[in-house]
Structure 1
Amino acid sequence: MTQPADFRFHHRLRVRWVEVDAQQVVFNGHYLTYLDVAVTEFWRTVGLPYPDAMRHVGGDIFVRRNTLQYHAPARLDDWLDIGMRCERIGTSSITLNWAVWSQGRLLVTGEVVYVFTDLASGRSAPVPEALRDQLDAHMQGAPVTQLVCGPWDALAEAARAVRLAVFVGEQGIPESDEWDEDDATAVHAVVRNLAGLPLATGRLILSVDAGHARIGRMAVLRSARGVGLGREVLQALIAQARERGVQHIGIHAQCSAMPLYAQAGFVPVGEVFDEVGIPHQGMTLAL
């Protein structure tokens, strides 16, 4: 029998009232919606956040076949645990197997076959090696992203891409307010997936007083959030500060991101203030 341990990836969700039919069980068609929710999280977890990662390699994926087998019903308020794994990568296809449990009861098993399609031609195309490498790394339990720290000259292109997408495109900050002279002297951190797609960035600005520094321009692509990349960038910048003998780090945190910094030991200082039209809170960390 299919077991949860057979799947490296799991996603949990709860049955809602709207998903229950006249028989007081989940309507069978909703399991494909559950699959869609889980597979989006699967791509994000394996370092292929959809749709950015597919566009990066010049393609997209389309469903060719779905098969489901129903074993037991799910009911209102059940917590569903959805397991998923990459079963096979063909010439132009990717096959995922999945299963759903509730409190250990196997409810549904299934298989979905995607076909990789070239965006330029609109026709099926070979699965790029970059996607194969990404999925292989996840299946083997290897890292699916790479973090590097360095100067602006080396990381400007990747950092710019993330900051433009997040601060300018998503948050509506004028591009003229995004770039400043601190970029040239800061230590930058960038996370990319194995295919080279920039996913997250941040910078460490060292002050004239070597004992102090500031972290800023922390950004994660919207499609890549929720898998810990912001925390990874933050810890890398804190480590860079320690290596340089910094004793005190400050940050102007967007209020929505304060829990991330609080988990790393930052504490609020002063009142909430407006910066580029967004509420911010000053926070500090003693090293």
Structure 2
Amino acid sequence: MGKALYRKYRSRSLSEIVGQPHITAILERAIANGTTAHAYLLTGPRGVGKTSIARILAHEINRLPYRDESTHLDIIEIDAASNNSVEDIRDLREKVQIAPVSAPKKIYIIDEVHMLSKSAVNALLKTLEEPPEHAVFILATTDADKLPATILSRVQRFNFRTISQDEVAAHLRTIADAEQISIDDDALQLIARYGQGSFRDSISLLDQMRNLSSETITAAMVEDSLGLASTAEIRQLLEAYCAGDLQTIADTLRALEHRGVPANAINEQLLHEIRSDIINKSNCLPLADKLLSNQK
């Protein structure tokens, strides 16, 4: 069984990270100057590189080669979603006092740290206040607002940005070419759009779509596979709205409903079409307001 593309093409050095130069530049200088911190907080949307950078940073600090399957006794990963009790953190506090086995530092990567219980957070805080010289903590979260100020004040915080659709599409093109996946640019743009700024989700979608056809994969094929309305149908709806053609609107929506296209997908597609050509579709702005209200 082949390896999933998102795992195969996971970044293995800071220079390979796409879309977060404001973070990688600082970390590269800190590593080069030997001025790394004892605690980091990586925060931002899912799928934008937090876990990848955490692992890369851990290996760089310890001057270890990083391979996707590599494990090391002095780099410990903890999923706070399933290890969130005060007992789990107290166990960590005891183990963190033990010196590294062979590397310069013992590094703890705690993912989804906002999932820790209140008592667990308080226990972790004591360790962050007075960490052993050999310990480094790399915390990652999609929801930093749930963390207390006492934690935030004791870490170096890095805010990850949502990756732009064009950046994601360009990265997908690199992977598609390397994997000899024949797919056109419009299809890649569509995949990037529905990946919603997440590299991981977008690459997983590309992996899913790679077997759609033995010929070049088109945007229409991707739309059909994702259960979306076609671009032609969306434009037909907008033209009918502008013309006040209620019959065409009803017929088109009935056909989409028969195919099982979800209402929220039609909503999103209509909004995207209006936004993509707002100057020529200014008469659709009242509709856009209603569609936005439906999303709330």
Structure 1 length-normalised TM: 0.26
Structure 2 length-normalised TM: 0.25
Q: Which has the larger helix fraction?
A: 2
Q: Which has the larger strand fraction?
A: 1
